[in-house]
């Protein structure tokens, strides 16, 4: 007996009769809604993390620029001291 083919036949039969009804029932719809809501929350959270990453990158850039400016200032001050 070809079990594979029989298996698929059985699955199809189940799907066609009871399965489809379950999948489109009101309870199933509630599950889908919850999953979609969770998906949207996930999207919002991801986008929030992206924004936060961007802000943190801005922080780092600002601090780095500050460090460089301080160094430059120290260098010029040193030069003035030597000349004075």
Partner 1 sequence: MKCVIQHMSAGRMRVHVGTSFMTPEQACILEKYLLGIRGIRSARVSERTGNVVILWNEDSEVILHALSVFHYEDHEAEAADLSGRKLTRDFEEKVFWHCTKRVFKKLFLPAAVRNAVTVMNAVPYVWKGLKTLVKGRIEVPVLDGTTIGVSVFTGDFSTASSIMFLLGLSEILEDYTHRKSVDDLARSMALNIDKVWILSASGEQILVNVSDVHEGDIMLVHSSNTIPLDGIVESGEMTVNQSSMTGESVPSPKEPGSPVYAGTVVEEGECRIRVTSTAGSGRYDRIVKMIEESEKMKSETEAKAIHLADKLVPYSFAGTIITYLLTRNTARALAVLMVDYSCALKLSIPISVLSAMRECARHRISVKGGQFLENIAEAETVVFDKTGTLTYSRPKVAMVVPFGKNDENEMLRLAACLEEHYPHSMANAVVAEAENRGLMHAERHTKVEYIVAHGIASTIDGKKAVIGSWHFVFEDEGVKIPAREKKKFEQIPDKYSHLYLAVGGKLAAVICIEDPIRPEAPAVIAALKERGVHSTVMMTGDSSRTAASVASLTGVDHWQAEVLPEDKAAFVKKEHESGKKVIMLGDGINDSPALSEADCGIAVSDGAAIAREIADVTISEDNLNALIVLKDISDRLDQRIHRNYRFIMTFNTALIVSGAAGILPAASAAWLHNLSTLAVSLHSMTDLLGENC
Q: Site residues (CB under 8 A) for partner 1?
A: 43-44, 46-48, 50-52, 55, 58-59, 62-63, 66, 69
Q: How far is the CB of 49 from partner 1 (least distance, A)?
A: 9
What's the rounded Cα separation, in Å, for the pair 2 and 77? 89
Task: Report in angstroms how near the CB of residue 45 gets to partner 1 at its nearest.
Answer: 9
Taking the complex as a whole, the smallest distance from the CB of residue 59 to partner 1 amounts, in Å, to: 4
Tokens encoding 68? 């460089």
Q: What is the dihedral of CA 67, 68, 69, 70, to 10 degrees?
A: 50
């Amino acid at each position: 007996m070809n079990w594979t083919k029989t298996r698929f036949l059985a699955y199809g039969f189940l799907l066609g009769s009871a399965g489809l009804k379950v999948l489109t029932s009101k309870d199933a719809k509630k599950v889908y809604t919850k999953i979609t809501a969770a998906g949207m929350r996930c999207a919002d959270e991801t986008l929030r993390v992206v924004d936060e990453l961007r802000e943190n990158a801005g922080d780092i850039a600002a601090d780095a620029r500050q460090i460089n400016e301080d160094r430059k200032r120290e260098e010029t001050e040193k030069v003035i001291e030597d000349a004075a």
